[in-house]
A and B are shown apart, each in its own frame.
Chain A
């Protein structure tokens, strides 16, 4: 192998690095070969001294904390990366929730889909009435109007689903964190409570409330703790800790707490490695539970077909919503499998 071939090889294999980094490391190797040649070796000998070039590339990429599987990348890989980032972000936010909360969320979303499907029937009915009233108009205008109505409803339904899902996920996360924070605070309060007599009952009440909450979660009741209730509880618990504090400062603290939840500590590890880990986790989960996934998919499809058959004449919106519901079930199963496979394994960042 000549020096040029070697450089070409490195350029190809290290394509994942930035141009600057790649040039930097290639310069080092080129210089090394040049010096060897100056000292009387041939280019081929100098390169042979590097040993197995595959190993060499692996070592170089390891130094950048990169996964080997990434070496043969192309532009398709970039897209997979982007999708993987989305998946891992979603999986991360989902695995932060407790499993019964996850199931609860899935059930809620499915119910919402069904409600929206029924809603589409009503909309169709109203639209039909309206269209009969204005039946004197030419046919193409009528079909245009009904098309617009369908489209509007579809957009509305998607929007509702999206807003609901995101707000619920956030809600559940902050609820979990609030609980753990309150627990921390209560232990502090417990150690301090010997001096102040008034703080102890408040602490007890809080603990009782926490226990009740835990029981509620255990039973996986569908009654979700609404955001207002959650906030009120935080307000109450803070107020209980500091009875003298004015209402406004309590509210400020609540806002602070909520804000602090939003900002999670950013990690130093590169975006790439996290993405790859997410991808790997996702696929490992998928492969390990492939039979399960197939069963779930088949079941979902059969259920879907049954529902479609029952609600014949729903039109495209109904079908889309049912499809979305199935998608949610499938995604939820995948996430549950993932969190089951890697229960606390979020320590890679």
Chain B
């Protein structure tokens, strides 16, 4: 798929993937990469940015295997941002789809 498409929608998918439960980095990254085929390494910087912008907050939790894991949780601000982004995306897709169907008819 077009790389620019992926880049544009990656943020929204990450926000959606964390909506139902808090996740640690690897978990979130592998969940996201199941939906979008994207270089997994590039998701971590995105998580960092979303945390810096207060859409995520992080906490450490012990794990049975290995060192404690850093969990990401969506903040209220993040949820609001996610909803806005989702609406924008849906509207955008509708508009593009409508245009495509119109073009095909003519």
Q: In the assembled complex, how far is the CB of residue A265 from the closest CB belonging to chain B, in whole angstroms?
A: 20
Q: In the assembled complex, how far is the CB of residue B23 from the closest CB belonging to chain A, in whole angstroms?
A: 13
What chain A residues lie within 8 Å of B66 (beta carbons)?
31, 34
- A64 interface residue (CB < 8 Å to B): yes
A31 CB contact (under 8 Å) in B42, B52, B69: B69
- A83 interface residue (CB < 8 Å to B): no
Q: Is the interface of B mostly helix, strand, loop or mixed?
A: helix
A28 and B70 contact, CB distance less than 8 A: yes
What chain A residues lie within 8 Å of B69 (beta carbons)?
31
Interface bits A32-67 vs B (CB < 8 Å: 1, else 0): 101100000000000001110001100110111000
Q: In the assembled complex, how far is the CB of residue A284 from the closest CB belonging to chain B, in whole angstroms?
A: 27
- A25 interface residue (CB < 8 Å to B): yes
Known contacts: A34-B66, A64-B48. The answer to whether A59 contacts B26 by CB under 8 A is no
B44 and A28 contact, CB distance less than 8 A: yes
Q: In the assembled complex, how far is the CB of residue B78 from the closest CB belonging to chain A, in whole angstroms?
A: 16
Could you tell me which residues of chain B, from 19 to 72, have a CB within 8 Å of some CB in chain A? 24-26, 29, 39-42, 44-49, 52, 66-67, 69-70
State the CA gap A29–B26 with chains docked (Å).
9
Known contacts: A49-B39, A50-B40, A63-B52. The answer to whether A31 contacts B25 by CB under 8 A is yes
B48 and A56 contact, CB distance less than 8 A: no
Q: Number of contacting residues on A, CB 8 A?
A: 19
Known contacts: A49-B39, A49-B40, A50-B39. The answer to whether A35 contacts B26 by CB under 8 A is yes
Q: In the assembled complex, how far is the CB of residue A344 from the closest CB belonging to chain B, in whole angstroms?
A: 27
State the CA gap A51–B40 with chains docked (Å).
9
A32 and B48 contact, CB distance less than 8 A: no
A29 and B48 contact, CB distance less than 8 A: no
- A232 interface residue (CB < 8 Å to B): no
Q: In the assembled complex, how far is the CB of residue A62 from the closest CB belonging to chain B, in whole angstroms?
A: 7
A32 and B44 contact, CB distance less than 8 A: yes
A51 CB contact (under 8 Å) in B39, B44, B49: B39
B41 CB contact (under 8 Å) in A31, A34, A49: A49
A56 and B42 contact, CB distance less than 8 A: yes
- A27 interface residue (CB < 8 Å to B): yes
B26 CB contact (under 8 Å) in A31, A55, A63, A64: A31
**Among A27, A35, A64: residue with most chain B CB under 10 A:** A35
State the CA gap A32–B32 with chains docked (Å).
14
Q: Which residue of B lies closest to A29 (CB)?
A: B44
B41 and A63 contact, CB distance less than 8 A: no
A25 and B26 contact, CB distance less than 8 A: no
Interface bits A1-37 vs B (CB < 8 Å: 1, else 0): 0000000000000000000000011011101101100
Given A50-B40, A63-B48: 14 more A-B contacts, CB < 8 Å = A24-B48, A25-B48, A27-B67, A28-B47, A31-B26, A31-B67, A32-B29, A32-B41, A49-B40, A51-B41, A59-B45, A60-B45, A63-B49, A64-B48
Closest 3 CB pairs of A and B: A50-B41, A63-B45, A63-B49
Chain B residues at the A interface, C-beta cutoff of 8 Å: 24-26, 29, 39-42, 44-49, 52, 66-67, 69-70
Q: Can you list 18 A-B pairs, Cβ within 8 angstroms, ordered by A? A: A28-B44, A28-B70, A29-B44, A31-B25, A31-B26, A31-B66, A31-B67, A32-B44, A35-B26, A49-B40, A51-B39, A51-B41, A59-B42, A59-B45, A60-B45, A63-B45, A64-B48, A64-B52
